[in-house]
Amino acid sequence: MYLISDLCYVCLYKIGRYRTTVVRRNLANSFPDKTLADRKQIEKKFYRQLFDLMVESIKGFSLSQKSIDKRVKLVNSSEYLEWLAAGKSCLVVGGHYSNWEWAALAASSFSDSKVAVLYSPIKNIYIDQYIQKKRSKHDTQLVSNHKAAKMFKQFKNTSTAYVMIADQSPSNPKRAHWLTFLNQETAVLRGPASYAKNYDLAFMYVHISRIKRGYYHVEVIPLNMHPSDTKAIHLSQQYMQQLEKMIRQEPANWLWSHKRWKHRPLKD
């Protein structure tokens, strides 16, 4: 599998220059204090891990629960486990960082509570149904963002970990929270903060560390245990600050090929 990843690195990055313009612009704007040589090293490492992620994501469709549990371990997350064991629910937010796909597959093994991952449906209904089926085979329930409100009401009295990967660029910048993230004014999805506040769900962050090829550690970090008392924009700040902290520690693990800053701040 990793021979395919290595081949993609040569063909798509070294020769094809896949999205290098986007990656270099994002790195330059995010790390203006780093030298060109430093950013080049991050770029190379990013592409190595990007193609590993691609082949691992495909392989994830056929991995058994035993294989997933062997490769993805929960660490340093006692508060998360105690919260769920007490019959409570939480909203866990993460970013496109490391292998978020395998972390979602492993999530149902971390506790006895229900795990529901909110996602944006793919426009092609047949592909969307196929991916839903494959991603849900490990007892992790996938729920469309369009059905989120209904889901929160349905699971109101059930201990549930709701999971959202929420660092993508909002489709409507007018409804976004605008925050400083990686030295840039950034539009941030309101959804996670609004859900946590409105349904009083303990607000937590999931950090995924890459130990080596095909092996990961998952850590759930509490951000705000009583979000109903906090302004939504402050919850978004807590999430984005934690994500930035992790990116700065291991910058190559984030999805730099995404056009994250395609929106500009709105003028008054």
CB atoms within 10 A of CB 226: 11
Q: What is the pLDDT along the chain (268 residues), one digit of tens a residue?
A: 999 999 999 999 999 999 999 999 999 999 999 999 999 999 999 999 999 999 999 999 889 989 999 999 999 999 999 999 999 999 999 999 999 999 999 999 999 999 999 887 666 565 556 566 656 565 778 888 888 888 888 898 999 999 999 999 998 999 999 999 999 999 999 999 999 999 999 999 999 999 999 999 999 999 999 999 999 999 999 999 999 999 999 999 999 999 999 988 876 5
Q: How many helices (H) and strands (E) does the chain have?
A: 10, 9
CB 113 within 8 A of CB 80: no
Contacts of 122 (CB under 8 A, 6+ apart): 128, 131
User: 0.85 exceeded by the pTM?
Assistant: yes
Give dist(CA 200, CA 248) in Å, integer.
Answer: 30
Residue 141: which residues within 8 A CB-CB, separation 6 or more?
114, 115, 116, 117
> Exposed, middle or buried by CB within 10 Å (0-12, 13-18, 19+), for 181?
buried
